[in-house]
C-alpha cells in the first residue's frame, strides 16, 4: 500500500529520438517540488544522442535503455516492471510542468485508495490559453468508441476560461501525463503492447475501471504539452494506429452483449471516413484505413483471448457516453463539452 503521508512517485519519461525535447523540458521536471520523487528516462532504442546527453548533463536522472523500440506501451511495461514506487507518472518528453504540479495529484490520489489514475489539466505549450488535444481537462468515450475531452471535441479546442476547473471522475486519463497507482497499473495488466502507440491509455483506464478503480482529472495541477513529438500530426502511421487500435479497444473491453455489432457499425463509420478522405484527394489515408481494418481482423483471434481475460478483472460497471459524439458534433453542431446534454 502507498505511504499515506508521502508516497513515492516515479516520474517516467519514455524517449525516442527526442534529445531536443529533453533539453528543453527535462529541467522543468527536475524542478518538481514534491520531495519523494525520482525522475527516470527510459530510452526506447534511440538512434540520436539522447542517452549520451542525459549521462553528460543529468547525473541525477535514472536511465534505462531498451535494445529495440518497444513502442509506447511496450516501453513503459518494460520499464515499470523494474521501477519500484507507489505511483508512476507516465510523462511525454514534450511536456513542460510547473514546480508544484505533483502535489495536487498526490493529494487527490491519497484521498481515495480506489483511484487508479489521474491526469492534470493539459494546456497547449504553444498557446497556453487553449486546451491541448491529448487529454485537455479529462477524457470520455462515446458508445461507438470515439474519444473526446472536457475542452476538446474532435479538432475543436476550447479556450481555457476556467470552465472545467472542478475535479471529477472521467473515463480516461491521457498518456501524455498520467499519474497512476502502481498497484492498479499492474493489477490491470499494464499497457497492451500490441497497441504499440495511441489509445493504449484508454484501454488501460477501461480495464482499471473494470477492476473497480476510478479515473480522475485534477485541474489544479497544470502541465503544457507540445503534441506530435514522436509521430507527426496527420501522418499515415498515426491514422493507422488510431483506426486499428480503436477496434482493438472496443473488441477487448465493450461489455454489451451486442459488442460484435458495435464493431461492425464502427467499421461502417470508418468506411465513411475513408470515402471522405478519397473525395478530398487523400488516397493514402483511404488505404491506411483499409490496412488498419485488415490488421484488426488479422489479430481478431488474439483479441478474443484478451477479451476473455479482461472479464476476469471484475464486473464493476463502466459508463460510456450514451450518445454519439459524431452526431452531437457534426449534425447538432455541439462543438463544446459544456454543450453536451449529459454533462450540463
Which residue is associated with the grid cell 519500484? 84
17 with 155, same domain: the answer is yes
Task: Give how many domains the chain has, as a whole number.
Answer: 2
The pLDDT assigned to 274 comes to 97
Domain that holds residue 258: 236-313
150 with 16, same domain: the answer is yes
Q: Tell me whether residue 47 is in a domain.
A: yes
160 with 290, same domain: the answer is no
Closest by CA to 48, choosing from 25, 13, 70, 20, is 20
Closest by CA to 202, choosing from 213, 216, 191, 189, is 191
Alpha-carbon gap, residue 191 to 202, rounded angstroms: 10
| CATH for 171 | 3.90.550.10
Q: What is the pLDDT of residues 186-227, one digit of tens each?
A: 999 999 999 999 999 999 999 999 999 999 999 999 999 998
| Cβ–Cβ under 8 Å, residues 312 and 263 | no
Q: 3-state class of 258 per DSSP? A: coil
Q: What is the pLDDT of residues 9-37, one digit of tens each?
A: 999 999 999 999 999 999 999 999 999 99
The pLDDT assigned to 235 comes to 85
Closest by CA to 133, choosing from 117, 149, 115, is 149
Q: Tell me whether residue 322 is in a domain.
A: no
Query: With 60 as the cut, is the pLDDT of residue 232 above it?
Result: no
Strand ranges across the sheet with 139-141: 139-141, 147-149, 152-153, 156-157
Domain boundary among 190, 225, 260: 225
Mean local confidence (pLDDT), 40-45: 98
215 with 258, same domain: the answer is no
265 with 162, same domain: the answer is no
Q: What is the pLDDT of residues 99-157, one digit of tens each?
A: 999 999 999 999 999 999 999 999 999 999 999 999 999 999 999 999 999 999 999 99
Alpha-carbon gap, residue 304 to 248, rounded angstroms: 10
Mean pLDDT, rounded, of the chain: 95
Alpha-carbon gap, residue 293 to 260, rounded angstroms: 14
Query: With 70 as the cut, is the pLDDT of residue 87 above it?
Result: yes
218 with 279, same domain: the answer is no
134 with 20, same domain: the answer is yes
Beta strand residue intervals within 165-230, DSSP E: 168-170, 177-181, 214-225
**Which residues sit opposite 127 in a β-bridge?**
124
Q: What is the pLDDT of residues 274-329, one digit of tens each?
A: 999 999 999 999 999 999 999 999 999 999 999 999 999 999 999 999 999 999 99
Q: Tell me whether residue 198 is in a domain.
A: yes
Amino acid at each position: 500500500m502507498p505511504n499515506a503521508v508521502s508516497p513515492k512517485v516515479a516520474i517516467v519519461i519514455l524517449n525516442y529520438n527526442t534529445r531536443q525535447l529533453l533539453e528543453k523540458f527535462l529541467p522543468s521536471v527536475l524542478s518538481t517540488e514534491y520531495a519523494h520523487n525520482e525522475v527516470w528516462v527510459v530510452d526506447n532504442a534511440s538512434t540520436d544522442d539522447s542517452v549520451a546527453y542525459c549521462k553528460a548533463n543529468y547525473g541525477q536522472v535514472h536511465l534505462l535503455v531498451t535494445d529495440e523500440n518497444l513502442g509506447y506501451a511496450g516501453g513503459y511495461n518494460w520499464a515499470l516492471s523494474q521501477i519500484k514506487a507507489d505511483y508512476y507518472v507516465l510523462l511525454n518528453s514534450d511536456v513542460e510542468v510547473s514546480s508544484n504540479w505533483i502535489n495536487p495529484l498526490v493529494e487527490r490520489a491519497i484521498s481515495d485508495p480506489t483511484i487508479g489514475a489521474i491526469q492534470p489539466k493539459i494546456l497547449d505549450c504553444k498557446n497556453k490559453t487553449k486546451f491541448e488535444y491529448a487529454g485537455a481537462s479529462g477524457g470520455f468515450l462515446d458508445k461507438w468508441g470515439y474519444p473526446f475531452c472536457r475542452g476538446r471535441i474532435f479538432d475543436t479546442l476550447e479556450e481555457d476560461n476556467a470552465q472545467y476547473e472542478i475535479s471529477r471522475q472521467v473515463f480516461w486519463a491521457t498518456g501524455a501525463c498520467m499519474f497512476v497507482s502502481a498497484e492498479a497499473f499492474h493489477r490491470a495488466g499494464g499497457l497492451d503492447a500490441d497497441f504499440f502507440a495511441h489509445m493504449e491509455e484508454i484501454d488501460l483506464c477501461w480495464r482499471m475501471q473494470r477492476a473497480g478503480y476510478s479515473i480522475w482529472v485534477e485541474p489544479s495541477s497544470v502541465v503544457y504539452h507540445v503534441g506530435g513529438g514522436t509521430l507527426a500530426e496527420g501522418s499515415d502511421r498515426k491514422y493507422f494506429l488510431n483506426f486499428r487500435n480503436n477496434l482493438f479497444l472496443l473488441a477487448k473491453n465493450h461489455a454489451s452483449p451486442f459488442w460484435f455489432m458495435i464493431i461492425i457499425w464502427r467499421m461502417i463509420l470508418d468506411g465513411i471516413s475513408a470515402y471522405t478522405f478519397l473525395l478530398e484527394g487523400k488516397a493514402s489515408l483511404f488505404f491506411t484505413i483499409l490496412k488498419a481494418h485488415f490488421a484488426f481482423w488479422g489479430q481478431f483471434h488474439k483479441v478474443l483471448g484478451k477479451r476473455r481475460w479482461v472479464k476476469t478483472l471484475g464486473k464493476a460497471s463502466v459508463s460510456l457516453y450514451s450518445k454519439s459524439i459524431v452526431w452531437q458534433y457534426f449534425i447538432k453542431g455541439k462543438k463544446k463539452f459544456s454543450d453536451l446534454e449529459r454533462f450540463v
